[in-house]
Amino acid sequence: MTDLARRRFLKTGGAAAAGAGLLGAGLGSGTAAELSPSNPGATTLPYPRNGIAKVAELKVNEPKGFNYPDEDSFCQVLKTGRQVPGGVGPDGDIVAFSTQCTHMGCPLSYDKNARTFKCGCHFSIFDPEMAGQMVDGQATENLPRILLEHDAADGTLYAVAVEGLIYGRQCNLL
């Protein structure tokens, strides 16, 4: 009998504690409609839409640095000179990536001759013309790709989201 009483006590006490926690957090006070987010099926947070460059300013095979989605995240936009997967712009040849290695977060540099991003710490290599695919080295994941939009009216490129997780973060938006 004591076993059953103890089990009932723990179940009742646990349910009461959970209910009190919800009420204390303000989650138990509204209707279901008030509590649901505007898009309950969304799996990503809303990223900022930041202007990063003008298409006319970009030169083929010369990356340009920018920060996205915040000042602590270093990225580069690159005009490859040929249409590539995920490329934007008039020729579909502009892509952008986080420039932190997915292995241990070391900064990447762009090798113009090899047309790849390289990590000087552990020698991982990433191909920007193949959606940031990891080609060689210690890294096990592709580079996080910065999703871009091109405004044809004024030639501005906008960073709008990140595909993949930036090294060292649980969430890309801090």
Which pLDDT band holds residue 7 (cuts at 50, 70, 90)? low
Q: Which residues are catalytic?
A: 103, 122
Is the backbone of residue 123 left (phi > 0), alpha (psi -120 to 50) or beta? left
Classify residue 164 by its DSSP letter. S
Instruction: Give the bridge partners for 111, in sequence order.
Output: 116
Coil, strand or helix: which one is 16? helix
Domains of the chain, first to last:
50-163 (2.102.10.10)
pLDDT at residue 32 tops 50:
no
pTM of the model: 0.75
Lowest-confidence range among 24-28, 45-49, 109-113?
24-28
pLDDT at residue 70 tops 80:
yes
* pLDDT given for residue 93 in this prediction: 98
